[in-house]
Amino acid sequence: MRIGFGYDSHRLVTGRKLILGGVEIPYEKGLAGHSDADVLLHAIMDAIIGALGLGDIGRHFPDTDPAWKDADSIVLLEQVVGLAASRGYSVSWVDTTVIAERPRLSGYIDRMREALSRAGLPGDLVNIKAKTNEGMGFVGRGEGIAAYAVCLLDGKEKA
Ligand code: MG
């Protein structure tokens, strides 16, 4: 068994779509970033990469690489799940928390889990919790959205 932890945050700006957990969510702002800036998927990917002991998401998908400009993070997640498989590991469980003051995310969680399934990470192995930050800090002021994830990988390192 390997455990991994991931964190990500992105700034909310006008003129961008809000993509969270692979789902487009109607809102007046979206997350700024080189890729689609899906904080939830980035936290999950960092948790998986961390459990593999392979650094972080920036090492695998550098934001200086034009290949990842506006990248669909579902495609990146698919690659990270494949990376785990190539090392002999499968994802046993992922638990996550997304922290956003607005919009309300609870109605989108089932669709996020379906989107994860399409990336090869079965939605029934992923728990997604959505909270606000009670008006405190950058999340509370609506300046950005943050996400945390932990994952457990099961397998045996391939020699
Ligand atoms: Mg990110």
Question: For 89-138, how does the pLDDT look when each residue is reduced to its tens digit (9 = 90+)?
Answer: 999 999 999 999 999 999 999 999 999 999 999 999 999 999 999 999 99
CA 159–ligand 1 middle distance (angstroms): 31
Q: Which two tokens stand for residue 126?
A: 């992923």
Q: What is the C-alpha separation between 12 and 32, in angstroms, rounded?
A: 6
* pLDDT over 70 (residue 86): yes
- pLDDT above 70: residue 159: no
What are the backbone dihedrals phi and psi of residue 109, each rounded to the nearest 5 degrees, phi first? -65, -40
Q: Kindly give the distance from the C-alpha atom of residue 157 to the centroid of ligand 1, in angstroms, as a whole number.
A: 27
Q: How far apart are CA 20 and CA 85, in angstroms?
A: 24
In the chain, which residue ranges form alpha helices assigned H by DSSP? 39-52, 57-60, 73-86, 109-118, 137-140
Tokens of 98: 């997304």
Q: What is the DSSP letter of 22?
A: T
Distance 95 CA to ligand 1 centre (A): 18
Q: Which two tokens stand for residue 135?
A: 């008006």
- pTM of structure: 0.95
